[in-house]
């Protein structure tokens, strides 16, 4: 199974090189060699694209594309989801706050166990370092509301770091969230549309370089709009939703066809 890792990045030149090389080395050490790391440069002015381009010369599995249209976290993610070539994809943060070991964990889930791999920073076995207190309070309230509205066990929906099989991405289109509200649009659509998922504990530590682009005051109304839009869809289909891939989950099996074609079909 080929794994793609999509990393949206805006003005992350100070950390992006370290992020992608550390992830690459960890995947190789875990015996996962068939992968690509795709950085989506979202209008950076600090040389982020050039850093990745230089790494691409040394390892073609590391590559970058530019978002030449309107910028925004959600737009960058959507662009990456239109250009990845793997059988499964993980959305990973440029600031190295996510653990490469958890990407390996996601890979194995997507290969053998479920259509989606959802990590939680707030269950037994997880580890969180230096989470800003105010953001933590808002996070816990928002995720509790989502849990109640959708009746789901996942308590960290707002975290962008998640994994999906390629057919899930196709089944969740179109993506309409331009900013950080994409973090809830994609997993909630996957759940509402009947794809299987597994929740596992993950690690997270606050960025050591740069400044986060997330502004809570600016994003609140966008999160609410996305939440209500997907919730209304759930209300309409919850009594008759069926798994798009069939009643029984099928682990990934290699075939003579190109891997991406096999899963997208």
Distance, in Å, from the CA atom of 213 to the CA atom of 10, rounded to the nearest integer, reads: 8
- Domains for the chain: give ranges and CATH numbers: 3-245 (3.90.550.10)
pLDDT for the residue 237: 83
pLDDT digits (tens, 9 = 90+) for 180-209: 999 999 999 999 999 999 999 999 999 666
Instruction: Tell me 231's DSSP state.
Output: H
Task: Say if residue 254's pLDDT is above 80.
Answer: no
In the numeric block, which tokens belong to residue 133? 């207190």
pLDDT for the residue 255: 44
Strands 162-165 and 88-91: antiparallel
Task: Say if residue 40's pLDDT is above 60.
Answer: yes
pLDDT for the residue 216: 53
Which band of pLDDT confidence, cut at 50, 70 and 90, is reported for residue 261? very low
Distance, in Å, from the CA atom of 145 to the CA atom of 226, rounded to the nearest integer, reads: 13
Q: Mean pLDDT in the chain?
A: 89
pLDDT digits (tens, 9 = 90+) for 63-115: 999 999 999 999 999 999 999 999 999 999 999 999 999 999 999 999 999 99
Which band of pLDDT confidence, cut at 50, 70 and 90, is reported for residue 218? low
In the numeric block, which tokens belong to residue 234? 């759930």
Task: Say if residue 214's pLDDT is above 70.
Answer: no
φ, ψ dihedrals at 201, nearest 5°: -70, 140
């Amino acid at each position: 199974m080929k794994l793609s890792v999509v990393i949206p990045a805006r003005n992350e030149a100070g950390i992006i090189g370290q992020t992608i090389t550390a992830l690459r080395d960890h995947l190789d050490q875990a015996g996962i060699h068939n992968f690509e790391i795709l950085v989506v440069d979202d209008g950076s002015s600090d040389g982020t694209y050039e850093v990745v381009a230089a790494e691409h010369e040394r390892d073609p599995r590391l590559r970058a594309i530019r978002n030449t249209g309107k910028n925004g976290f959600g737009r960058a993610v959507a662009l990456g989801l239109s250009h990845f070539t793997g059988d499964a994809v993980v959305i990973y943060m440029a600031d190295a706050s996510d653990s490469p070991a958890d990407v390996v964990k996601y890979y194995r889930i997507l290969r053998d166990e479920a259509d989606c791999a959802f990590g939680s920073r707030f269950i037994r076995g997880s580890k969180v370092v230096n989470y800003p207190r105010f953001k933590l309070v808002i996070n816990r309230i928002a995720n509790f509301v989502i849990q109640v509205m959708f009746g789901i066990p996942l308590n960290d929906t707002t975290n962008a770091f998640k994994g999906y099989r390629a057919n899930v991405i196709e089944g969740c289109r179109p993506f309409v969230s331009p900013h950080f509200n994409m973090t809830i649009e994609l997993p909630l659509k996957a759940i509402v549309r009947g794809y299987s998922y597994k929740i596992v504990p993950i690690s997270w530590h606050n960025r050591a370089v740069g400044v986060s682009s997330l502004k809570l005051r600016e994003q609140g109304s966008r999160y609410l709009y996305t939440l209500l839009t997907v919730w209304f869809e759930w209300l309409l289909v919850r009594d008759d939703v069926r798994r798009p891939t069939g009643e029984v989950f099928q682990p990934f099996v290699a075939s003579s066809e190109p891997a991406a074609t096999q899963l997208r079909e």
